[in-house]
Structure 1
Amino acid sequence: MPLYKTITVSEDTKVLIWKIEESIDSLKQSICLTDNCTSRISSMKSEIHQKGFLSVRQLLKIAGYSADDLYYDERGKPHLKNGAHISITHSFIFSAIIISRNAEIGIDIEKQRNKISIIAHKFVDYEYHYLTDEDVRKLTVVWCIKESLYKVFATHGMSFIQHTKVIPFELNEAGTVGWIHYKSEVQKYEVKFLEFEGFTCAYVLRTNN
């Protein structure tokens, strides 16, 4: 069972990361899939997406949940039936979930690739104060943070450039602060990030400030 990493953020919040090394049949073992899960897998043309989907269900099992405990609202945001908060991500050979009993949370994993420099202008504005298009690793951190903010806020019309801000950070700090400014709403998020095997993972937790 390739549970790659467990991060205990707090007593109420935990991150689980899976490295996908198994076949689809192996990933299906020991988990009970709902009819909806089976239908979704059948509709996926990419084996990478199928494995990502199944590995997330394996992570749910490790966290003490079944596939039936997970549902999505009209905005596409995942929830757990017991009221705990959850966010989900997968990229190539890694998948992850973050679960919190109290805090609103978001998580994202991305592979570090040079092509992020080409699309940086689509999600970076304020952050150009402290990075450039050549800062691939930092750009990937910023992208992961903004994806995580988008997942937790889950509001139609939200823009990475217009409505999110990542406070300056250094890669060795492994953390920073993220802000969402959307219409009359201003929300602050604690941010943590890590790098492994050419991938970046970031997760955000809403603060009370």
Structure 2
Amino acid sequence: MPLYKTITPNSQTVVKLWKITESFDDLMAPLTLKPETLKRVLGMKSELHQRGFLSVRHLLAEFGYEDADLFYDKNGKPHLKDGKQISITHSFQFSAVIISNGIVGVDIEKQRDKITVIAHKFVGYEADYLDKNAADYIKKLTAVWCVKESLYKLFATPGASFKNCFLVIPFELKDEETVAWIDYEDVKYRYLVHFFEFEGFTCAFALGEE
């Protein structure tokens, strides 16, 4: 089983990453899925998405959970029946799950030049410090997206704008962490977000409110 990486940022939080090398059948065989979960995965048109979805169930097993322990609210935010906080992500051949006693969010994205095409949709305040001519521009842009996506998953509030409600403080890639804010309906929330690069991907995870 290709558990790729385990990170323990604090005593109450664990992040696990999976490298998806198995076939759909190999991923499916050992799993026990709820009927609605099985219907959902079989209805997916992309095998890549199916394998990502199933790899998350394997990550749950690494934490000691089963598919039956997981459910989603009306906004699509995942929850665990025991009350622990969880966030889930998958992108191409990697997936990740973070579980904590406190509120959390996680995201993985592949570093690709095409992110510049949508940058105007999620870069607001950050344009003041992002240098489009810098050699690391794509990597920093991907990090900003990951940070904001992790915050969005954590916040799970429809209508919160990536561009205007999520603010990422200036950072350097070598720092592997930054402070980010959610500014929504005149209330500001401050978070510490960790990020790191691996095999052409970026992962970010946001930890509770400081």
Q: Same fold (TM over 0.5)?
A: yes
* Contact 1:133–1:139 under 8 Å retained in 2: no
What code does the residue aligned with 1:106 have? G
Q: Give the aligned CA root-mean-square deviation in angstroms.
A: 0.9
- Does the 8 Å CA contact 1:141/1:200 hold for their aligned counterparts? yes
- Residue type of the alignment partner of 1:199: F
Gapped runs of 5+ residues in structure 1?
Answer: none
Picking from 190, 196, 203, the partner of 1:201 is 203
> Displacement of 1:183 after TM fit?
0.4
Q: Distance in 1 between matches of 2:150 and 2:11?
A: 21
AA at the equivalent of 1:35: P
Corresponding pairs, count: 207
Name the aligned partner's letter for residue 159 of structure 2. Answer: G
Could you tell me which residue of structure 1 aligns to residue 128 of structure 2? 129
Q: Which residue of 1 aligns with 2:81?
A: 81
Find the residue that maps to 1:59 and give its secondary structure: helix
Distance 1:38 1:48 in 2: 16
Moved over 3 A (4+): none
Q: CA deviation at 1:29?
A: 2.8
Structure 2 residue 37 is the aligned partner of structure 1 residue 37 = yes
Equivalent position SS for 1:146: helix
CA distance in 1, matches of 2:36, 2:11: 32
Tell me the alpha carbon deviations over residues 173-193 of structure 1, each in whole angstroms, 9 at most, x when there is no partner.
000011000003211111100
Residue matched to 1:106: 105
**Superposition TM-score, scaled by structure 1 size:** 0.97
**2:160 pairs with one of 155, 158, 161:** 158
CA deviations 1:31-79 (Å, max 9, x no partner) are 2111111100111000011000100000000001000000000111000
- Taking the TM superposition and a 5 Å limit, the aligned residue runs for 1:170-185 are 170-185=172-187
Q: Matches of 1:84 and 1:26 in 2, distance apart? A: 29
| Percent sequence identity over aligned pairs | 57
Query: Secondary structure of the residue that 2:10 maps to in structure 1?
Result: coil
Partner of 1:8: 8
Q: Which runs of 5+ in 2 are unaligned?
A: none
Q: Say if 2:58 is the partner of 1:58.
A: yes
Deviations 1:108-156 (A, max 9, x none): 0000000111211110011111113451000000000000111110111
Give 3-state SS (helix, strand or coil) of 1:65's partner. Answer: coil
Counterpart secondary structure, 1:98: strand
The AA in structure 1 aligned to 2:138 is: V
